Amino acid sequence: MKKPIQLGKGGPKKADDTKVALFDWQRWLWLLGGGVLMGITPVNAWPLAWLAMVPLWSLVYCPLSNKETVARYVLGGALWGIAYHGTALSWITGLHPLTWMGVPWLGSIAIALFAWGFITLWGAAIGLSWLGLMWIVTRRFLVTGVSRVMLGTALWCAVEWVWSSGPLYWTSLSYTQSPSNLWLLQLGQISGPITVTAAIVAVNGLIAEGAWGYSHPSHGIVKNSKTVQKTGLNQWWIRAIGLFLVLHLVGWGLYARPLVDSADNKLSVGLIQGNVPTREKLTAQGVQASRRTYLAGYNQLANDGADLVITPEGAIPQVWNTFLQERNPLLRAVVEKGVPLVLGTFVHEDIENSQTPLTQSLLTLVPEGSIGGRYKKVKLVPLGEYIPFESVVGAVISRLSPYGESLVPGGFDQVLETPLGPMAAGICYESAFAALFQGQVHRGGQVIFTASNNDPYPSRQMQQQQAQDVMRAIENDRWMVRVTNTGISGVVDPKGQLHWISQPNTSVTYLATLYKRQSRSAYVRWGDWLTPTLLAAAAVSIWISRIAS
């Protein structure tokens, strides 16, 4: 059998020629296309994710025999990652214009482009880290076939786990399936979003194995190349289709189970979407406008029979003053109406000490005229809510934040107390951090509340955050209320079904019906147990293969 031919500079070259062209435009287009397809998958093109990672997987089969092949390996992984995360996160450019903050027009463009480039490269590092780990392991051990797919799946899950534990995270592969592929998203109940990520990586890996065998039959991956050429299928593609179907059947089984909610646990929760742009509400006139908007919305919902009312993140963009709280019109309305209010505002870390740093908080205002609960935002937005290495670079970039000082994060041991029971809560960007919600539900949270601003970002960002929240509701088997400043607000049930969503950039109030729940999914009980299990299984598989060889 003739050896396969590879194209590079200078025409055809034999496959065993170790001198490989650095700029292989066909490969670069293949990787670029795969990354872009993965990037446009959130939130309405979920089927693309089951093929879009194949180009990245194909790099795993490249022999790294010299500097040129290593450079192709790294550049290829970077290209796929930049295309994926850059496409998915392009909404960050909605930061521009920042002229209302005193930033010049060109400076505003530079800031928006810097933010887009930085978070794109940070996300692309996930794929590069995965490729590096795959190279380290496969260089040391002979890993092929199923063992290679298992190893790749386990390592990708491990890398995503590391990133999700850090300060900057959004584009998990899992959110490409939300909110439309509800059958598969039910697998999140098993071990969180990493379950969905593992499914996507594994199916793409099996397809990549088949594609490699199809184009390199001499490597023995495809036992009968004539059959492959005739049918277009091979054992790996059959396995990929089979795994895809089995995963969705399991998800359908979970989705088909009826919700059993008791009338005794019924809640009427009011949402206020104020639609007060950030550039306006951070002025003295804006503070007054915000107070009027949320006071009117609260009174309306309380009169309509709400058991509790929720406002967005930073609804009142003013530091909560404990000493003057009796004069606060919202707290006075709560005392008068007798309906608790969860208010998004800024509060000193020690609420009684104005010398302590500020926090982004949700306060539960209760009819007794006091604060009955508090949640402090844990995952703060770098540069927006705090300045990394502030002592070094704070003087240079402090003007990028509308706040007078860096905020400080809350602890991981919180739950939002209300007169109706403990609730799990998240503020804006925290929607991407599944472990935050799992911990709160594990500690007794009966409903999930998320409060966000979302201004000045476009509807694509709003839809992606909604997709994140849909996953959190499913994973924790909880009803969820999403309230935002500029949209999209909504109500999600434990199956991920959207019962109501608002229109973006409108002012609206809504009275939602939902139910408190005390059930515990496998994910709530044990967290992400799948990642260490996959790593252990991959290690055992490699060990068995080594003994057998």
Residue 215: predicted pLDDT = 65
What superfamily does domain 263-516 belong to in CATH?
Answer: Carbon-nitrogen hydrolase (3.60.110.10)
pLDDT band at 17 (very low <50, low <70, confident <90, very high): very low
Query: Which pLDDT tens digit goes with each residue over 118-156?
Result: 999 999 999 999 999 999 999 888 888 999 999 999 999
Nearest to residue 155, comparing CAs of 83, 213, 205? Answer: 205
The angle subtended at Cα 197 by Cα 194 and Cα 198, nearest 5°, is 85
pLDDT value at 39 more than 60: yes
Query: Which pLDDT tens digit goes with each residue over 266-308?
Result: 999 999 999 999 888 888 888 899 999 999 999 999 999 999 9
pLDDT value at 398 more than 70: no
Neighbours of 401 (CB within 10 A): 17
Residue 216: predicted pLDDT = 61
Q: Which of 1-5, 445-449, 519-523 has the lowest mean pLDDT?
A: 1-5
What is the C-alpha to C-alpha distance for residues 257 and 251, in angstroms, rounded to an integer? 10
Nearest to residue 269, comparing CAs of 241, 227, 311, 235? Answer: 311
Q: Which of 54-63, 149-158, 229-238, 357-366 has the lowest mean pLDDT?
A: 229-238
Determine whether 413 is exposed, middle or buried from the number of CB atoms within 10 Å of its CB (0-12, 13-18, 19+): exposed
**Average pLDDT in the 464-492 region?**
97
pLDDT value at 102 more than 70: yes
Per residue, what are the HEC states of 224-283? CHHHHHHHCCCHHHHHHHHHHHHHHHHHHHHHHCCCCCCHHHEEEEEEEECCCCHHHHCC
**Average pLDDT in the 170-183 region?**
96
- Phi, psi for 416 (deg, rounded to 5): -90, 110
440 membership: H or E segment, kind and range: helix 434-442
pLDDT value at 218 more than 70: no
Residue 385: predicted pLDDT = 80
Contacts of 198 (CB under 8 A, 6+ apart): 153, 156, 157, 530, 534
**Which pair of structure tokens corresponds to residue 192?**
């969180």
Nearest to residue 172, comparing CAs of 89, 290, 241, 254? Answer: 89
Kindly state the DSSP code that residue 217 receives in the 8-state scheme.
Answer: G
What is the C-alpha to C-alpha distance for residues 289 and 487, in angstroms, rounded to an integer? 18
Residue 279: predicted pLDDT = 87
pLDDT value at 232 more than 60: no
pLDDT band at 64 (very low <50, low <70, confident <90, very high): confident
Q: Tell me the catalytic residues.
A: 313, 377, 428
Taken as a whole, the chain contains a residue count of 549
Neighbours of 231 (CB within 10 A): 10
Query: How far lies 184's CA from each of 54, 155, 174, 175, 248, in Å?
Result: 20, 21, 10, 11, 5
Query: Which pLDDT tens digit goes with each residue over 517-540?
Result: 999 999 999 999 999 999 999 999
The amino acid that residue 475 corresponds to is: E
CB distance 476 to 424 below 8 Å: yes
Residue 321: predicted pLDDT = 86
CB distance 496 to 477 below 8 Å: no
Q: CATH 3.60.110.10 region(s) of the chain?
A: 263-516
What is the C-alpha to C-alpha distance for residues 469 and 450, in angstroms, rounded to an integer? 8
Q: What percent of the chain has pLDDT over 90?
A: 73
Query: How far lies 59's CA from each of 18, 54, 212, 233, 464, in Å?
Result: 16, 9, 10, 21, 29
Strand partners, 358: 348
CB distance 320 to 345 below 8 Å: yes
**Average pLDDT in the 360-373 region?**
96
Phi-psi region of 410 (alpha: psi -120 to 50; beta: other; left: phi over 0): beta
Q: Are strands 424-427 and 448-452 parallel, antiparallel or unpaired?
A: parallel
Give one DSSP letter per residue of 117-146, joined into a string: HHHHHHHHHHHHHHHHHHHHHHHHS---HH
Residue 90: predicted pLDDT = 96
Residue 233: predicted pLDDT = 60
What value does the CA radius of gyration of the chain take, rounded to a whole number of Å? 26
User: pTM for the whole thing?
Assistant: 0.91
- Phi, psi for 449 (deg, rounded to 5): -115, 135
Residue 219: predicted pLDDT = 47
pLDDT value at 326 more than 50: yes
The angle subtended at Cα 13 by Cα 7 and Cα 18, nearest 5°, is 105
- Phi, psi for 376 (deg, rounded to 5): -105, 130
What is the C-alpha to C-alpha distance for residues 332 and 169, in angstroms, rounded to an integer? 39
**Average pLDDT in the 384-401 region?**
59
pLDDT value at 14 more than 60: no
What is the C-alpha to C-alpha distance for residues 315 and 504, in angstroms, rounded to an integer? 16
CA 457 from chain center: how many Å? 16
Nearest to residue 31, comparing CAs of 90, 89, 78? Answer: 78
- Phi, psi for 322 (deg, rounded to 5): -60, -35
Instruction: Supply the mean pLDDT for the chain.
Output: 89
Q: Which of 8-17, 210-219, 340-349 has the lowest mean pLDDT?
A: 8-17
Residue 399: predicted pLDDT = 44
The number of CA neighbours under 13 Å toward the Cβ of 223 is 3
Residue 2: predicted pLDDT = 40
Nearest to residue 488, comparing CAs of 516, 521, 453, 520? Answer: 453
Nearest to residue 309, comparing CAs of 393, 250, 366? Answer: 366
Q: What percent of the chain has pLDDT over 70?
A: 89
Helices and strands counted in the chain (H then E) = 19, 14
Residue 397: predicted pLDDT = 55
CB distance 523 to 128 below 8 Å: no
Residue 67: predicted pLDDT = 75
Residue 224: predicted pLDDT = 45
pLDDT value at 13 more than 50: no
